[in-house]
Amino acid sequence: MILHVDMDAFFAAVEQRDNPGLKGMPLVISGHSKRSVVSTASYEARQFGIHSAMPVYQARQKCPNLIILPGSRHKYARDSKQIMEILRRFSPLVEPVSIDEAYVDIRGCEPLFGSPADIARRIKETIYKELTLTCSIGIAPLKFLAKVASDMNKPDGLTVIRRDQMHEFIHRLSIKKVPGVGKKAMELMATLQVSTLGDLKRLDAALLTRKFGSMGHRLIQLANGIDETSVETGHVRKSISSESTLP
């Protein structure tokens, strides 16, 4: 099984942890210029409809009392390093994909740490004990499904998609939930009357490949429960964006 570990509103959560006066307050990490966009929004800010990549001026309109912080690249990188070290205590197969998320391949680790759900709970408990931060974890036989699952019960969630549930889950999974499917692809899918991965099975594979290229081939595989991507321990983690949101 594969775990996808995703920290909850990471930058904002770090600021709220380090400054108790910010707990429960709507805040975003961003710059203050007119061109700045939201890097991370706390869950309190999200209740106003504020989200990542939203221009700050729009966020202010939605929440006049919004707290805007510049963030600390050093602080977030420090905590991220500690989180990745915690994950490696449970498996050597850890793939950091950004500063606040990683895949963990736990195959073969069960004799040491228990069931996949037990391992996920221990990871969550350890991260909270050592950093006072919450994360959401998705568990699934396939890498892409683990990522989908981690987003299902945020914040502080733990979602398991068992192998015997996998094909039914995939059949009903909305195309817009599939990692890598963007807005333009969604619009084209709508013209083909495709809204779920299951819908793809009625279409000709050559048609999908012609219209979507390599993504079309991958979607066909995913619809059939095939994900050939593995957890890559040599993956180079993306650095924090050098946007004006983090001066």
- Residue 28, classed as helix, strand or coil, is strand
Domains of the chain: 2-8+73-163 (3.30.70.270), 10-69 (3.40.1170.60), 173-223 (1.10.150.20)
Q: Are 40 and 29 in contact (CB under 8 A)?
A: yes
Query: Using CA of residue 64, residue 67, residue 70, residue 76, what is the dihedral sign?
Result: negative
Q: Are 1 and 90 in contact (CB under 8 A)?
A: no
Q: Does 168 participate in catalysis according to the annotation?
A: no
Residue 5: closest CA among 82, 128, 77, 103: 103
Active-site residue (options: 15, 85, 101, 187) = 101
Residues 6+ apart with CB under 8 A from 167: 225
| Beta strand residue intervals within the chain, DSSP E | 2-7, 27-29, 40-41, 67-69, 94-98, 101-105, 135-140, 158-160
Could you list the mean pLDDT of each consecutive 10-residue stretch along the chain, which spans 247 residues? 97 96 96 86 97 94 95 94 97 95 94 94 98 98 96 96 95 91 86 90 85 86 91 60 40
The predicted structure's pLDDT at residue 113: 92
Peptide bond before residue 155 is cis, with ω within 30 degrees of 0: yes
The predicted structure's pLDDT at residue 47: 96
